[in-house]
Amino acid sequence: MAYIDYYKVLGIDSKASADQIKKAYRKLARKYHPDVNPGNQEAERKFKEINEANEVLSHKENRAKYDKYGENWKHGEEYQKAQNQYRGQPGGQQGAYAGFGADDFSDGADFSDFFQSMFGGGGGGFGGRTRGSAAGKFKGQDVEATLNLHLRDAAKTHQQTFEINGKKVRITIPAGIADGQKIKVKGHGNQGHNGGPNGDLFITFNIQEDSHFKRKGDNLSAPLNIDLYTAVLGGEVHVETLDGNVNLKVKPGIQNGTTVRLKGKGFPVYKNEGEFGDLLVTYNVQLPKSLSEEEKELFLQLKNLAK
């Protein structure tokens, strides 16, 4: 497989911060998303490449391996360890690989070919006589994925199915999942090597903002427009919540910008069924426009009475 410069794919510097990586990925993912480019195979190829780069660079441990080992990052530590063990012994005949003689290698193969064949680089070097005890079992590479959710979808427990490495994966997303939160799906990463266990799938959630509600922890906030007359005289208004409208009594003389708290009408608490945060409603008093002459006269009378 050809070496891919993941930093170049995302158009960022190798010293880019985690936030810069996230920002670059989101920008490119929107540009090349299949829904935006239906039928465009080049855009689809680019989209997969962008996701692959993000899965590596957004994971701190994977990025460190990639920076250190480059194209051999998936098995870099095992690769380096094997090289150190082999080269660190006199004559190369002791330690972890003791017992291999010169005839164990095919003609023309060097030590790098041996390690490449052992740790995923391809190519021969053993002439068909690889010893199972030397190869060992290795866990498959973990896979990173990002899942976009609307705020209102994140407020309810539901299932989603998506495809990873050609396989469909169905997960149950608990209500109250947070933006940036990561969960592990065991055994759904890349296939293990030489009979080793599969890697795991790590899903990071990207919670998209809502046009009405703003979330802070388990609480929600939202504006509420009321007319001048209700603000002055009081009354009852309808307030939108995540599970439908509720009635709210407005006290007479309420001031613009006043915030009231509706207990238990906020966001569900993650993995605490039946628990919710609060909804903070801020009044936005709407002044009347285009007053009639009669209305102006009445307001003038009120002004004179207030003197």
Q: What is the pLDDT of residue 83?
A: 56
Domain 140-209 belongs to what topology? HSP40/DNAj peptide-binding domain (2.60.260)
pLDDT tens, position by position, 13-72: 999 999 999 999 989 988 888 777 878 888 888 888 898 889 889 988 889 888 887 777
Q: What is the pLDDT of residue 140?
A: 86
Residue type, position 127, single letter: G
214-305 CATH? 2.60.260.20
What are the structure tokens assigned to 285, written together?
Answer: 């008093």
E strands, the chain, are 143-150, 158-164, 167-173, 182-185, 201-208, 214-216, 219-227, 235-241, 244-250, 259-262, 279-286
- In the chain, what is the greatest distance between 2 CA atoms, to the nearest angstrom? 110
Residue spans per domain, the chain: 70-135, 140-209, 214-305
Q: What is the pLDDT of residue 1?
A: 46
pLDDT at 203 over 90: yes
pLDDT tens, position by position, 92-144: 433 333 333 333 333 333 333 433 433 344 333 333 333 333 346 788 888 89
Return d(Cα 51, Cα 53) in angstroms, integer.
5
CB distance 259 to 276 below 8 Å: no
pLDDT tens, position by position, 225-248: 999 999 999 999 999 999 999 999
Return d(Cα 241, Cα 54) in angstroms, integer.
35
Return d(Cα 58, Cα 234) in angstroms, integer.
52
What is the percent of the chain where pLDDT is above 90? 45
